[in-house]
């Protein structure tokens, strides 16, 4: 998990930064796993991106009024051990 604060959230909108990160993940084969409208609030942006082949999920959160302004969480599915 990564947590960070932008020095000037009013100038560097954390919610827009989440959109940029989501776009980058999409170029790497990720797809939106949860409809953004289900998670939308005025000062909060959340997106969930899933890469089905790699079995990786990222939750990206940006918020204006609370710190940390940016939160990035990654999750992988556990694979059963063989042998």
Tell me the pTM. 0.81
Q: What's the pLDDT at 21?
A: 92
Residue-level pLDDT at 50: 94
Q: What's the order of all strands across the beta sheet hosting 70-76?
A: 2-4, 70-76, 56-63, 44-51, 31-32
Rg (alpha carbons) of the chain, rounded to whole number: 14
Q: What is the pLDDT of residues 19-73, one digit of tens each?
A: 899 999 999 999 998 866 666 677 888 899 999 998 899 999 988 888 899 999 9
From CA 31, how far away is CA 48, in angstroms rounded? 8
Task: Show the 3-state SS of 1-67.
Answer: CEEECCCCCCCCCHHHHHHHHHHHHHHCCCEECCCHHHCCECCEEEEEEEECCCCEEEEEEEECCCC
């Amino acid at each position: 998990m990564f947590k960070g604060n932008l020095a000037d959230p009013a100038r560097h909108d954390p919610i827009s930064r989440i959109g940029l990160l989501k776009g980058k993940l999409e170029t790497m084969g990720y797809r939106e796993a949860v409809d953004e409208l289900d998670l939308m609030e005025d000062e909060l942006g959340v997106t969930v991106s899933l890469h089905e082949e790699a079995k990786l999920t990222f939750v990206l959160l940006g918020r204006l009024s609370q710190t940390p302004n940016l939160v990035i969480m990654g999750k992988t599915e556990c694979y059963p051990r063989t042998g």
